[in-house]
Amino acid sequence: MSFPWAKRYEPTHPFMVWVDEKLPLPRLVHGAIGAGYPVPRNLNYFWNFGVLAGFCLLLQIVTGVVLAMHYAANTEVAFGSTEHIMRDVNWGWLLRYAHANGASAFFAVLYIHIFRGFFYGSYKAPREMVWLLGVLIFLLTMATAFMGYVLPWGQMSFWGAQVITGLFSAVPLIGDWLHTYLLGGFAPDNAALNRFFALHFLLPFVIAGVVILHIWALHIPGSSNPTGVEVKGESDTVPFHPYYTAKDGMGLGVFLVLYCGMVFFAPNALGHPDNYIPANPMQTPAHIVPEWYFWPFYAILRAFTADIFFIPAKLMGVLAMFSSILVWFFLPWLDRSPVRSGHYRPMFKWAFRALVVDLIVLGYCGGSPAAEPYVMISQIAAAYYFLHFLVILPVISGLEKTAPLPFSITQSVLGGAVSGDEPAHAVPAE
Amino acid sequence: MVRIVAPFVGLFFALSALWAFVVGAESYITEPPAATAESVFHLKPQEVSFASDGPFGRFDRQQLQRGFQVYSQVCSNCHALKYVAFRDLKDLGYNDDEVKAIAAKHDVPVYNPATGEVKTRKGMPADHFPPVVYAGQGNPPDLSLITKARHEGPAYVYSLLTGFGDQPAEVLQRFPEAKVPDGLYWNPYFANLNIAMPPPLVSDGQVEYGPGNPKPTVKQMATDVAAFLVWTAEPKLEKRHQTGGAVVLFLMFATVLAFMAYRNVWSGVKH
């Protein structure tokens, strides 16, 4: 890529010259995450979370591969092999707690990363492909996390799998056949557990591949920034290394302190106690709840309790749950405001805040029992969720009078009034 | 195209959710959910504190040994401990000979794959606690993980053990059908208020503690066995706390260095 002032890779050591001739891998790294990638100088701390998400993926792969060496994917012994890891494998308790809390950390980081994108309009042209690949990564991560949670074969593993795989039976006409075909049985059992284990091992590498595409697509236009104004000249950027490697290094430190605090001092705080009870198909837990990171979507699934014309309530819930994420794919074309950053969009700012509150309310309802008043609250919140993305965003992008944008990143950083000949309304993305 | 279709899709989902809300609200008003005996009389676990609580918590080995004594003399009649091996008991401060002696008191099943016969032999330190065959009513759960398998596990175990009593008359006044069924026992800390387990700790001094230990009151025995079950569920707790302290301290130090490096690199660059 990218800007003409990007530093070129010029190896000086003869060995590096030799390597660069045969395989320009150092050149690739230099251009991707080294001094050869110019990045806007005004990124705030929310831009740390992409690197952190990549770190979480790596952490999950490393701990997960070692856990797989000790785990046995068989319904007779899966629970016991997990306890074997906790008790008899050297540092096995650390691996498992690091992996289980790593999933939570991964989702926490991903949510902040995604909401960064929502607020700063990172999905807008010319970065639509970065956004689409990002949503794909999120979907793959959800699938991976769900299947991973089933592996210890505790009560919540089994009943969670029962509920979520049961969604396939809502497909019209072929639902029951599809459900049985995918599970390899009428209910989650050994066949399903083996499938989940195989896919749980495979998908992280698929995610890693899509992450590479995500970063590749990002490097075509370059990173966005908090003003949403495109880079206009060399003074707007700094080289990724050492500037953002240093900043990300510090961000990683803060992240690790919080994460290790969880792993070592509250490793089960985010888990459900029922998953320390071995799976028992004859005994349904009082409340079946997924892990916290699925709560908002679980609340949407359960909010649709009434049949709509010929669509049964169950199918309606499944459609709504999948649509609630699929709608993100259309975001670049739903929000037509030429201004990217929420800072300059007075109406959008409020819609965004409402969305954050809405998601928290949905999450709270999703983690609560399927009883009133939680269901009624989640119905209102689910309605707002769809209105936000599909009605409010398209409408306010036409209505809104946006605040004047700074002329350039440099100007916004160094201060100074907006020059008079700049239009108060934003210029469309170049 | 997207912008033409989107509002209709959005309104479809939003109106469907609101329709479900109306249907739900109507039945909520016409038939409000009735209170049940469980929703009124179920109690949250009592507050109990253990030496292993908190980020710097350590086990009180004397207490763990007392708890193990309570488990062996009372609980083990019905409840197994299958994820715990006898060798693990060295963590409680027993030496090799004591562990061997404890193991030898248990008969461990041995399955002969050639004949299909199951025989028993004396336990060895490498064996796990053997399964308990329970002939009575109910299904006593394995206790290895019980303090992690219940909300506020250790406090729950303590509360359950000390929470037996006569059913308050108020329960039957409000819920005449909520009489404790035959063969079950009233216990407000149990999810459905009636538990199949008879009160296991009934009198002070039921288990005899050696000299230098507190008096074996019911509360003391319940606390001790709860502490022991914290250990069976999380035997690596101390190592986790110790390692965690060092790891977090190191990371904080590294983060301060990283912060200084960041300030250094960015000095002179406004951003």
Question: In Å, what is the CA distance from B219 to each residue of B93, B143, B216?
Answer: 24, 19, 8
Distant-in-sequence, close-in-space partners of B250: CB < 8 Å, separation ≥ 6: none
At residue B4, the pLDDT reads: 87
| Domain presence at residue B14 | no
Is A279 part of a structural domain of the chain? yes
Distance between CA atoms of residues A328 and A325, nearest Å = 6
Q: State the amino acid at position A39 in one-letter form.
A: V
- Angle in degrees, CA A84, A197, A278, rounded to 5: 45
Measured between CA atoms, the residue of chain B closest to residue A391 is B7
Task: Say if B111 falls within a structural domain.
Answer: yes
Q: Which of B1, B13, B139 should one mutate to test binding to chain A, selecting the residue with the greatest count of A CBs within 10 A?
A: B13
Residues B230 and B113 in one domain: no
Specify whether the CB–CB gap between A308 and A316 falls below 8 A: yes
Among the candidates A288, A320, A347, a domain finishes at: A288
Q: How far apart are CA A197 and CA A5, in angstroms?
A: 48
User: 125-154 in B: which are within 8 Å (CB) of A?
Assistant: 141, 144-145, 148-151, 153
Read off the pLDDT of residues B103-121 as tens digits, 9 standing for 90 and up: 999 999 998 899 999 899 9
B77/B89 same-domain check = no
CB < 8 Å to A41, chain B: 269-271
Task: Indicate which residues of A carry an active-site annotation.
Answer: 219, 223, 247-248, 291
Chain A residues within an 8 Å CB radius of B14:
382-384, 386-387, 391
Contact A41, B271 (CB under 8 A): yes
**Cβ pair A386:B83 closer than 8 A:** no
| Whole-number percent of chain B with pLDDT over 70 | 100
Q: Which residues of B touch A43 (CB under 8 A)?
A: 271
Nearest to A223 by CA among A134, A126, A138, A136: A126
For residue A175, being part of any structural domain is answered with yes
Q: Nearest CA to CA, how far is B48 from chain A (Å)? A: 18
What's the confidence (pLDDT) of residue A419?
Answer: 46
Cα dist from B97 to A14, A48, B75, whole Å: 66, 56, 24
Give a yes or no: residue A413 inside a domain: no
Q: Does position B24 have pLDDT exceeding 60, yes or no?
A: yes
CA A300 to chain centre: 18
The answer to whether residues A282 and A305 belong to one domain is no
What residues contact residue B45 under an 8 Å CB cut-off, 6+ apart? B151, B152, B155, B156, B158, B159, B189
Q: Is residue B168 domain-shared with residue B271, that is, in the same domain?
A: no
Report the domain count for chain B: 3
Domain carrying residue A372: 301-408
Given this model, what pLDDT does residue A416 score? 60
Interface of A with B in 267-296 (CB under 8 A): 267-268, 273-274, 276-277, 286
Residue the block writes with tokens 């016969």:
B117
pLDDT for A138 equals: 98
| pLDDT score at A425 | 43
pLDDT digits (tens, 9 = 90+) for B34-89: 889 998 999 999 999 999 999 999 999 999 999 999 999 999 999 999 999 999 99
Q: Which two tokens stand for residue A147?
A: 């299947």
Same domain, B77 and B140: yes
A337 shares a domain with A229: no
The enclosing domain of B160 has a CATH number of 1.10.760.10
H-state helical runs in A78-127: 78-87, 92-120
pLDDT at A143: 97
Least CB-CB distance to A389: which of B10, B16, B149? B10
In a domain, A34, yes or no: no
DSSP output for B185-205: EE-TTSTTSEESSPPS--STT
Q: Are residues A246 and A349 in the same domain?
A: no
Q: Are residues B211 and B222 in the same domain?
A: yes
Residue B6 forms part of a structural domain: no
* Residues B148, A313: C-beta atoms closer than 8 Å: no
At A139, which CATH number?
A: 1.20.810.10
The residues, ordered by sequence, that sit 6+ positions from A275 with a Cβ below 8 Å of its Cβ are A149, A152, A154, A155, A156, A157
A99 lies within 8 A of chain B by CB: no
Among A238, A256, A288, the domain boundary falls at: A288
Q: How far apart are CA A242 and CA A248, in angstroms?
A: 10
* 3-state SS class at A8: coil
Give 10-residue mean pLDDT values along chain A (430 residues): 86 94 94 93 96 98 98 96 97 98 98 97 95 98 97 96 94 94 94 97 98 96 94 93 96 98 96 96 92 96 91 94 96 94 95 97 94 92 96 92 93 68 43
Cα separation, A412 vs A417, in Å, equals 9
Let me know the angle formed at the C-alpha of A147 by A200 and B145, rounded to the nearest 5 degrees: 110
| Domain end marker among B96, B128, B160 | B128
Residues A99, A204, single domain; the answer is: yes
Name every chain A residue with its beta carbon within 8 A of the beta carbon of B264: 246
b/e map of A286-298 (b: 16 or more CB within 10 Å)? eebbbbbbbbbbb
Structure token pair of residue A158: 């089994």
ipTM: 0.94
Residue B45 lies inside a defined structural domain of this protein:
yes
Q: Residue A144 to residues A74, A103, A147, A166, A419: CA-CA distances in angstroms? A: 19, 10, 5, 17, 50
Which range marks the domain in which residue B245 is found? 241-271
- Determine the pLDDT at residue A423: 41
Tokens of A232: 């206009």
Contact B225, A241 (CB under 8 A): no
- Residue A277 shares a structural domain with residue A307: no
CA A20 – CA A4 distance, rounded (Å):
21
- Please give the Cα distance from B216 to B224 (Å, whole number): 9
Q: What is the pLDDT of residue A69?
A: 97
Which residue has 């009389």 as its token pair? B41
Considering only CB atoms, which chain B residues are within 8 Å of A334? Answer: 2-3, 6
Number of domains in chain A: 2
Would residue B11 count as lying in a domain? no
How far away is chain A from the Cα of B246, in angstroms, using its nearest Cα?
Answer: 10
Last residue of a domain, one of A235, A258, A288: A288
Total-model pTM: 0.94
pLDDT at residue B96 tops 70: yes
